[in-house]
Chains A and B, each alone.
Chain A
Amino acid sequence: MGLAGTRFGGAAGAFRRIDGWTLGTVLIALAASIPIVAVIGLALTPGESVWGHLASTVLPLYIRTTLLLMAGVGLGTLVIGAGTAWLVTMCRFPGRHIFEWALLLPMAIPAYVVAYVYTDLLEYAGPVQEALRASFGWTTRGDYWFPEIRSLGGAIAVMTLAFYPYVYLLSRVAFLEQSMCVLEVSRTLGHGPWRSAFRVALPLARPALVIGLSLVLMETLNDFGTVDYFAVATFTAGIFDVWLNMNSVSGAAQLASVLLLFVLVVIHLERRGRRGRRYHHTSTRYRALPGYPLRGGAAALASLACLAPVVLGFAVPAGVLGRYALTHYADTLEADFLTYTANSLGLSATAAVITVAVGTFMAYGARLRGGPVVTAATRFASLGYAVPGAVLAIGVVLPTAWLDNTVDAVLDSVFGISTGLLLSGSVFVIIIGYVVRFLALSFGTIEASLSKVTASMDGAARTLGAGPMATLRRVHLPVMRGSVLTAAILVFVDCMKELPMTVILRPFDFHTLATFVHQYASDELLAESSLAALTIVASGILPVILLSRTIGRSRPGHTGAPDGAGATP
């Protein structure tokens, strides 16, 4: 039986007899869910429990801070992301074509790097306050008021700047995909451009906005570098505190379980958004978007509104790092920068290859065996992306430690050999953590590309004389190739930036670029690590280029049009 036939309920065939796909997919899902299950399991196990202590002391603070942070970042990213997306998609003003892609640039800089740079600029000894003191003749802290960057408000501002591109990206795609006809209908029914925007375009884009928002919230919950640096008491910061300072793994697991409740809410939000999106295409006709021309003050305001996030979120941090790198690169090199770079590259590349291989297997399994079991398995295996790195890290550490101890005990009792710890504290566990966390990224990307090969294409290949393997080789793989590469790059870059899992899982005295920058910045040595930070930013530019290319081609009806008749007039 062929690749296509099974989708039409065909009967038994060669593939069905050895159903490696279903088995493999289910096994992967089980393996990927071990960390989450381990965390919950440990949290529920009675024993030396610090839960009562936590609940009576820090828990209310963690909950309040985390909620405030989520609310602030959510609101900020929605306003900036959706607002700029609307401007560049629907209006015409100077610089619009540049802003279309430039607004994605802040994605390249991890939030913690933005936090280090702004702290460096805005703290008491930083250049901004120094300049203020010099020009107004103030001499001490008591002479003037200046906002404290190392605060909840500062964390909200930093994360808003770093994460708004998620909302921008998704709402821009949604606005581009909207049929112009529905907007025109609204105009002919007597609504002006503004009312049309609020009564038709925004409600239609709502599912996309919700997905973007949920991605932002996942990143907010995941963040460790910023909250640690700013000493903002969120759950993630709390988990690290309980584990590393209070030395209580089960306490950390209990906090992590509560954090998972937040994650569940966010996942639910995202799923609802995705379901909603399918039903929000009311018309399949696409026309050029209106491009309301803006003049004078309005045009200047629009340009400014788009310029500000790009400057604050990308140009300033990249500029500061660049200047430091020029003056202090020798310090970074001296601090064994090359080893850290090699560590980062090696780990990220290995994780990317494994993640993409596993993702391809799952996507293909889902296509061949699209039954409820496989679908549920792939869903489950993809949960890692929503789970904060700190939680996953705990979930990886626990089972590997158990495995090491068991192997050691068994071998010791049988052969009298003590193996010690085989996996724990090795780079191997970092890779496991990366794969679990970023599996969804590769699976989703590859699955989307596989859906471009329709069932009748399979059938066409078969009736033209190509067997199942030849169909895979001659049709599926070539069509998927680009997406596999894209998935590999996305995973690679996310691994380069990853901080919380790496901090927990790394072997003693082992650094990646991210952990190195975090440690140096925490010791007020940002300048000395600037070259490393800049390297992370440089790798982060890759997905920005990929994304801006994809989005330009995303408009239905213009898909891949050779004359470049793109999304906008």
Chain B
Amino acid sequence: MNGLSLTGITHAYDGRAVVLDASLGAPAGKLTCLLGPSGCGKTTLLRIAAGLEIVQHGRVALGERVLADGDDRRHVPPEERGIGLMFQDHALFPHLTVFENITFGLSDPAPGRLQWAREALARAGMAGFADAYPHTLSGGQQQRVALLRALAPEPRVLLLDEPFSDLDVNLRLQVREETLGLLEETGVTTLMVTHDPEEAMFMADHIAVMNEGRIIQAGAPKEIYFRPADRFVAALFGQVNRFAGVVEGGRVHTPVGTFAAPGLADGRQAHVIVRPEGLRLALAGANGPSADDPAPERNATPARIISAHLLGRSSHVHLGAAGPDGAEIVLHAHVPGVFLPETGALVSVSVDERQVFVFADE
């Protein structure tokens, strides 16, 4: 493969395995996201790719060139790999100015690269900060400097470790777009680690989902979202409604409807996940169909509003519905726009089947 590839990586600290037979590719010129909760081993994979961690088992290669092979005891030191890494804490050198930080990696500073550094600083709106020291910069500015520093030596691969986690929400969105623009412009092969699924969806050409040391699924963002490989991936994008049921006639019955269970034999225990955005609500008794759901499906479920909260662009609604044994169960629904019915109001709930995922209950 052209680009960075990690094959069969297994890694342990003090006998505790943190990465288990993980294989991952970052295709040339694309942005790949390694997505997973904290402690899942994704930063370790990144450090192995950079050469800061000596690989124990498995292989790291850039194009045809093998950089590290644990079983062969081959290890190209980090400074000879041509792989840039941007750290979560930015790790700017406190004793160097902004400009000196950015040009740190230029061994024989070509005038062209110095010029590039100046222009890049100017475009980041930081032309006046070239001689400033890192501690005088804001978090967003430090992030920009760290990114430019990693890009300056023109690495063949750029690794980003949670690059936006230090920034507050609004700044994060802005810096994210700037970063994406800069990366697309330079066309550098990028592997980014994040725990934020929305960030991964926004940035990535490819996403690899990691949990407990294993790569669970890799694919395009749409694929990850609409065809999750298992429960973990399906639940990755936020709170979900979970139901348990038994497969009968190729279908599972849940309090919000009956869904196809492809590939599951009759009689098997199934685990059904319905994303909150997959529940569509229509106020009962309203004249005609509701605005966002012109044609309510026939198998709609009656439910009662427990509470409704406006989040801004959408509303989060808690619903009470009749469970399998007659007890009330609580459903979570995510409705676009303002939807704030009175507590106790009756609604009918229908389901967008693209947001329903049925898995065997292991």
Residues on A facing B (Cβ under 8 Å): 1-2, 4-5, 8-13, 452, 454, 456-457, 459-467, 470, 474-475, 478-479, 559-562
Contact = CB atoms under 8 A, between A and B. Distances in A.
Interface of B: 13-14, 47, 50-54, 56, 77-81, 83-85, 87-89, 91-96, 104-105, 107, 133, 135-136, 149-150, 153, 155, 159
Contacts of B47: 8, 459
Given A8-B53, A9-B14, A459-B50, A467 B104 contact: no
Nearest to B155: A463
Given A8-B53, A9-B13, A459 B85 contact: yes
A462 B51 contact: yes
Q: What 4 A-B pairs are tightest by C-beta distance, nearest first? A: A464-B105, A456-B91, A462-B78, A456-B87
Contact of A459 (B56, B78, B136, B149): B78
Contact of A465 (B53, B89, B95, B107): B107
A11 B50 contact: no
A454 B79 contact: no
B94 A479 contact: yes
A470 B85 CA distance: 18
Contacts of A463: 50-52, 78-79, 81, 83-85, 150, 155, 159
In the complex, which of the residues A452, A463, A467 has the most CB atoms of chain B within 10 Å of its own CB atom? A463
A454 B104 contact: no
B335 to A, nearest CB: 37
Contacts of A559: 135
A11 B79 contact: no
Given A5-B53, A454-B89, A459-B91, 9 more contacts: A2-B52, A5-B52, A8-B53, A10-B54, A454-B91, A463-B52, A463-B159, A479-B93, A561-B136
A325 to B, nearest CB: 42
Give chain B's interface secondary structure class: loop
A465 B79 contact: yes
19 contacts: A1-B54, A4-B52, A8-B13, A11-B56, A454-B89, A459-B47, A460-B91, A460-B149, A461-B93, A461-B104, A463-B83, A463-B85, A464-B104, A464-B150, A465-B79, A465-B105, A467-B79, A478-B96, A479-B94
Nearest to B13: A9
Nearest to B83: A463
A391 to B, nearest CB: 40
Contacts of A452: 94
Nearest to A478: B95
Contacts of A466: 79, 104-105
Contacts of A474: 104
A444 to B, nearest CB: 20
A14 to B, nearest CB: 9
Given A454-B91, A456-B89, A462 B79 contact: yes
A2 B93 contact: no
A5 B78 CA distance: 10
A459 B87 contact: yes
B78 to A, nearest CB: 4
A12 B105 CA distance: 26
B9 to A, nearest CB: 14
Contacts of B87: 456, 459-460
Contacts of A560: 133, 135-136
A464 B101 CA distance: 10
Q: Which of B53, B85, B107, B150 has the most CB of A within 10 A?
A: B53
Contacts of B105: 464-466
Contacts of A460: 85, 87, 91-93, 149
B67 to A, nearest CB: 12
Nearest to B86: A460
Contacts of A562: 136
Given A460-B87, A465-B153, A8 B52 contact: yes
Contacts of B136: 560-562
Contact of B77 (A457, A462, A475, A561): A462
Contact of B91 (A12, A457, A465, A467): A457
B177 to A, nearest CB: 24
Contacts of B149: 460, 464
A65 B85 CA distance: 63
A457 B93 contact: yes
Contacts of B85: 459-460, 463
Contacts of B93: 457, 460-461, 475, 479
A561 to B, nearest CB: 8
A10 B53 contact: yes
A464 B84 contact: yes
Nearest to A460: B91
Contacts of A462: 50-52, 77-79
Contacts of B50: 459, 462-463
B174 to A, nearest CB: 24
A471 to B, nearest CB: 9
Contacts of A1: 54
A465 B113 CA distance: 15
A8 B104 CA distance: 24
A478 B51 CA distance: 25
A278 to B, nearest CB: 20
Contacts of A2: 52, 77-78
Most A C-beta atoms less than 10 A away, residue of B14, B83, B96: B96
**Which of A13, A457, A465 lies at the interface centre, i.e. has the most chain B CB atoms within 10 A of its CB?**
A465
A8 B107 CA distance: 27
A459 B79 contact: no
Nearest to B55: A11
A560 B95 CA distance: 12
